Structure 1
Amino acid sequence: MQLLSGDELYEIHMATTEILEQVGVKFLSEKALKILEDAGAFVDFKRGIARIPEHLVTEAVKGAPSCCTVYGRNFDRKMRLGGNRIYFSMGGWFPYVLDIDSGKRREGTLADVELFFRLGDSLENIHLLDWAVWPKDIPEPLVHVYGLLAGFRNTTKPLDGYIYGEIPSEDNLRMASIVAGGVEELKKRPLLLSIENPTSPLQHSKEMVEGLMVYAKYRQPLVIAPEAQSGATAPATLAGLLVQQNAEILSGIVLAELVSPGTPVLYGTVSTIADMKSGNIALGAVEAGLINAATAQLAQYYGLPSRGTGGTTDAKIPDIQAGLEKSVTLLMGALAGVNLVYSFAGTLESTLTMSYEQLVIDDELAGMVSRALSGIKVDEETLAVEVIKKVGPEGHYFTQKHTIQNFMKEHYLPKIFSREKRETWEKAGSRDLRETARVEVKKILEKHRPGPLDRDIEKELEDFVREVEKREAKTEHNV
């Protein structure tokens, strides 16, 4: 799906260049401003604004790789981001979870983090796992180490990393180095992908930008993804939002490439519209799908892998609204070629709430979208002329060898969606999709265990977490 012509992409680029050169972007980090000034940007330290000439953007984009790979801890599960490949991610960092038993919204805990990692590990269409919820039962200065330890223990899939601040980012990357077998090995085979969210309009926060610089130093893939809201923190016109978003993304890419040339970066978005009735964000809006599709095209224009947020919804529970909004926004982004669909699986309520049941439902949805993207293969085997001749009029294909050989390749077979007759469905308890998903969640969590983490590595990680605990306790005492 191509929304924008080549001329329109060029116009967005030129408008962005004008904004970067004449208005600039605010960086709330003196370290970042010094790096930009040394490279040739025009920096006003008093205002914290860097005006970035076009040649710095061109050099940064040219130096960034067109593809990158993120690995799981055993290096066998990996994502090759770029080209026509599309991957789906679990949502993360949310304050709330829908309790699997009561169905009520509550604050997340470390136990939820562990269970979501284990559940996500079992789902074949979910490729990147995030820390589903923010565990309120863990002291805030320790969440980043407890969360990553839970990830390495409970999944062998690639993981998201914590980027909010220089020291926590260093902590996470030291933990990843332990698992990878050292810093140089981690640079060769990255284990963490992390996301820097510019603050729209046209600003990068101190904590995130300094975390970005740490991740760039370790050459871990970075996503630059604004969450601009059309009509609130970005222009009401979607083209205007794309210009502002582009300036925010490209300024982040410039900094990452100046810190460490060749750092893998993903051109990303979390942008959508503001609901002009309530002033709330509308992540399930159809315009979110349009913005994601256009973002994928702009990433392709610059020759970079992309990250979007398809499959988002403003619904509060797994219901019809969630299904409609998730399907529309996911399919639009996927058809446009978003390489990594983030903040998707399990998410509800404008990415404020995670749901166990929704995660299982979204795995099904991702499988259906993947099947749609694979299209229809046409060759001698699939044209099936000989078997059509053999069956002829009034026959059927159930017992044909051709059917046995091909239906698994051609048909997507859902795990929890109901296709049986009403009588069979009623005998099984007349469960709706949410109830069916709840049963599936409990079955998976009862049976599924990821491959074990090497015990020596796990002990080294545990020792490191204790070091951080002592450091933070000492810091708190001194304060």
Structure 2
Amino acid sequence: MTAPVSRRSGGRAARKAIREAPLTDDVRPIRPGMEGGRYKPLSQEQVEQIHEAALKALETIGLADAPDSGVAYLTGAGAAQGDDGRIRFPRSVVEDALAKACKKITLHGRDPKNDLELWGSRVHYGTAGAAVHMVDVNGREYRDSTVQDLHDAARICDQLDNIHFVQRPMVCRDIADNREMDLNTIYACCSGTTKHIGTSFTEPDYVPPALEMLHMIAGGEEAWRARPFVSNSNCFVVPPMKFATEACQVMENCIEGGMPVLLLSAGMAGATTPSTIAGAIVQATAECLAGLVYVNAVKPGHPAIFGTWPFGLDLRSGAMTGGSGEQALLSAGCAQMHKHYGLPGGAVGGITDAKLPDMQAGWEAMCSNVMAGLAGLNMVYESAGMHASLLGFCHESLILGDDLIGHAMRCVRGIEVNDVTLALDQIAEVCMGGPGHYLGTDQTLLRMQSDYVYPSLGNRMSPKEWSENDKPDLIENTIARKERILSERSAARFDPLLDAEIRRKFNIHLPA
């Protein structure tokens, strides 16, 4: 006698096989650049109030410490330098810069499939942060980050669908020379991923050799300028309301070299910006508007991301609170200001103050990642892997963040309401002479991949299944996935001849 076949197990196996099959782009439930913007913590009146306050701050307070070249560019654009040395910006100068500014930016990847389109409320998640430590999950301790750690992070990001760009998440503490550190940062990231990369430069003089390396990787200067796959993360201001002299000179060199720029204002609420959420957004907006004038005075229409990055502060201790509800509100409010100006913008999300990938890390990272996405933030920086208020980076949390961001992106996608999704035909078919449930119906099977996001590592087993499968541990499984990724050669590695040529010209610290 033939043993009966379990419909339940067969159905589960079939569904599992469907879930594990690669999805085509037209079926994927989430993808880079989905439209957010449904969440608006500020009313339109409040947005206008912040805008007017920022303009008044620029006109009456202005910014100090511009380099001589910056003074020339800014006064040439109509700003005025007072007897106190501060540069002040009439409303008309700001409005002229807004009219000239690039409203649609494509951040290129080395592989065109990784290009990011920044306009409207299109949302993208990625790394950033310049941490100085690595989180050792096994030893539950922190150590200095290295160039190998950075390269490995880029390799991991290259394999994660929900990490859309790779801005340098950590500093190469094992390279003492700043010039070599900047050049090796580019090499480590570019040889690890074909996604768009963000980096910074310590000195203006380090930009030309970096551009030489990038021209080599791109296949020539013309090819680089056509598709610049690295952008400059530029802290052009030192809040409150001061230009960072050397960073401004770096920015000028990057603009000349055809590199997109992130105008990054990273004040700390209660320390280097006002303690109120509204006041912190006002100052960050004013500083980035000044940066926008600067960029468009150097080269009208040059791609510049409006990077309002105010951080929260625990006023009891003075510690940064990247994982707080206040941080989530700061970034969501900044996203509204970007939309008010019609500018591509970025802010932070996903930072956690937790020291390890634990429950605290999960709730903190999800809170700001979801709110930033719902607010329509174009670039959500620091969205995965960042611990200890940006002091530590964790490869395992980066991988876990891919799952977390997947669910955040499903929230961003929202709810589609149409004749198909209202499902009246299905309800009638199931309820009147049908099986009385929707399990296994054609409509359910057709939409189980296009409507639902399934975690790669998150465990949805029943307690019985979990026990029968030796009680799999989330962190252990994450470590195993990390090791699988890093056991294979980087798909982004350079052609051996090109790699040898780069190594002849530059002191590359990564082993060949």
TM-score between the two structures when normalised by the length of structure 2: 0.86
Within 2, Cα distance between the matches of 1:244 and 1:310?
19
**Which of the residues 195, 208, 211 maps onto 1:170?**
208
Q: Which residue of structure 2 aligns with residue 206 of structure 1?
A: 245
**Which of the residues 132, 135, 142 maps onto 1:98?**
135
Tell me: CA distance 1:464–1:256, structure 2 relative to 1, closer, same or farther (3 Å): farther
Tell me: CA distance 1:102–1:427, structure 2 relative to 1, closer, same or farther (3 Å): farther
Within 2, Cα distance between the matches of 1:113 and 1:94?
10
Q: 1:450 aligned to 2:499?
A: no
Q: Which residue of structure 1 aligns with residue 401 of structure 2?
A: 362
Within 2, Cα distance between the matches of 1:203 and 1:431?
52
- Indicate conservation of the 8 Å contact 1:162/1:169, yes or no: no
**Which of the residues 377, 396, 419 maps onto 2:460?**
419
How far the C-alpha of 1:111 sits from its partner, in A, is 1.3
Instruction: Compute the RMSD of aligned alpha carbons.
Output: 2.1
Within 2, Cα distance between the matches of 1:57 and 1:463?
46
How far the C-alpha of 1:127 sits from its partner, in A, is 0.8
How far the C-alpha of 1:145 sits from its partner, in A, is 0.9
Within 1, Cα distance between the matches of 2:49 and 2:241?
19
Within 1, Cα distance between the matches of 2:149 and 2:492?
19
Within 2, Cα distance between the matches of 1:255 and 1:460?
36
Q: Which residue of structure 1 aligns with residue 363 of structure 2?
A: 324
1:55-454 to 2 correspondences below 5 Å: 55-141=92-178, 142-197=180-235, 198-392=237-431, 395-447=436-488, 449-454=490-495
How far the C-alpha of 1:240 sits from its partner, in A, is 1.7
Q: Which residue of structure 2 aligns with residue 461 of structure 1?
A: 502
- Indicate conservation of the 8 Å contact 1:281/1:350, yes or no: yes
- Indicate conservation of the 8 Å contact 2:130/2:171, yes or no: yes
Question: What do residues 277-300 of structure 1 show as CA deviations (whole Å, max 9, x unaligned)?
Answer: 101111112111111111111111
Tell me: CA distance 1:279–1:359, structure 2 relative to 1, closer, same or farther (3 Å): same
Question: What do residues 84-133 of structure 1 show as CA deviations (whole Å, max 9, x unaligned)?
Answer: 21111123421000125433210011111111111111000001113332
**Which of the residues 9, 22, 47 maps onto 2:60?**
22
Tell me: CA distance 1:52–1:457, structure 2 relative to 1, closer, same or farther (3 Å): farther
Give ranges in structure 2 of 5+ residues lacking alignment.
1-38
How far the C-alpha of 1:48 sits from its partner, in A, is 4.3
Within 1, Cα distance between the matches of 2:219 and 2:485?
31
Question: What do residues 353-397 of structure 1 show as CA deviations (whole Å, max 9, x unaligned)?
Answer: 001111011111111111111122233333333333333365333
SS in 2 for 1:350: helix
1:32-47 to 2 correspondences below 5 Å: 32-44=70-82
Within 2, Cα distance between the matches of 1:241 and 1:270?
9
Percent identity, please.
Answer: 29
- Indicate conservation of the 8 Å contact 1:86/1:337, yes or no: yes
How far the C-alpha of 1:456 sits from its partner, in A, is 4.0
Within 1, Cα distance between the matches of 2:167 and 2:51?
32
SS in 2 for 1:87: strand
Tell me: CA distance 1:202–1:430, structure 2 relative to 1, closer, same or farther (3 Å): same
Within 2, Cα distance between the matches of 1:160 and 1:355?
19
TM-score between the two structures when normalised by the length of structure 1: 0.92
One-letter amino acid matched to 2:399: V
One-letter amino acid matched to 2:74: L
Give ranges in structure 1 of 5+ residues lacking alignment.
470-479
SS in 2 for 1:89: strand
SS in 1 for 2:331: helix
How many positions carry a matched residue from both structures?
Answer: 467
Within 1, Cα distance between the matches of 2:60 and 2:169?
40
How far the C-alpha of 1:265 sits from its partner, in A, is 1.3
